[in-house]
Chains A and B, each alone.
Chain A
Amino acid sequence: QVQLVQSGAEVKKPGASVNVSCKASGYNLIAYYIHWVRQAPGQGLEWIGWMNPNTGTTNYAQNFQDRVAMTRDPTINTAHLELSSLTFRDSALYFCARANWRGPADAWGQGTQLTVSS
């Protein structure tokens, strides 16, 4: 069955960078877009951006444009999110999700907890 399995929880200091991975199984990574969404404690869902794993094309939300990078390694069916210049406000649960072009997210990773703490 389709699964997205994310890397484990991270604790980072302010100003650092974090890399979160998302490994797809049950389908070919390049067949669907990968979206990244985050959720701060007790808050709603915030879209970070998407990547087309087939071409590497990305589209980032304006709030993250200057410090986010989405990449992929199709040989291991894995997508990556790198977020730099972390602040306390980046503490959140980060999800990857797959979607068709202009479609809803029909499968989600389990989430990766990021804590930014000095």
Chain B
Amino acid sequence: EIVLTQSPGSLSLSPGERATLSCRASQSVSRYLAWYQQKPGQAPRLLIYGASSRTTGTPDRLSGSGSGTDFTLTITSVEPGDFAVYYCQQYAISPPTFGQGTKVDIK
């Protein structure tokens, strides 16, 4: 199965700072890569699919990029509602797999 490795494991930022989250796949997933946000006690919420397409409601300060094995989620200016855990998921090859998550918290 494809292993997704996210880095860093956690990120401490002040509101207004830029966040760069990485997701690396053990083999190519083309652009079949999604990003989810999860807040405590809630289900994950789909933010980005197809590596770079935002879902309705995902603000444009969040953007996804990459293809193949290397992907990035960027938050240009972190807002209070962005403090959460972010997971990447590949859905190119079964079984679908998730990264272990990056926690973005308040510095």
Contacts and interface: CB of A to CB of B under 8 A. Distances in A.
Interface stretch (A12-20, A73-81, A100-108): A100-108
Contacts of A47: 95-98
Nearest to A109: B43
B87 interface: yes
A28 interface: no
Interface residues of B, number: 21
A96 B94 CA distance: 17
A59 B99 CA distance: 20
A110 interface: yes
Contacts of A53: none
Interface of B: 32, 34, 36, 43-46, 49, 55, 87, 89, 91-92, 94-101
Given A102-B32, A105-B44, 8 more contacts: A45-B44, A45-B98, A59-B95, A61-B95, A97-B44, A104-B91, A106-B55, A108-B45
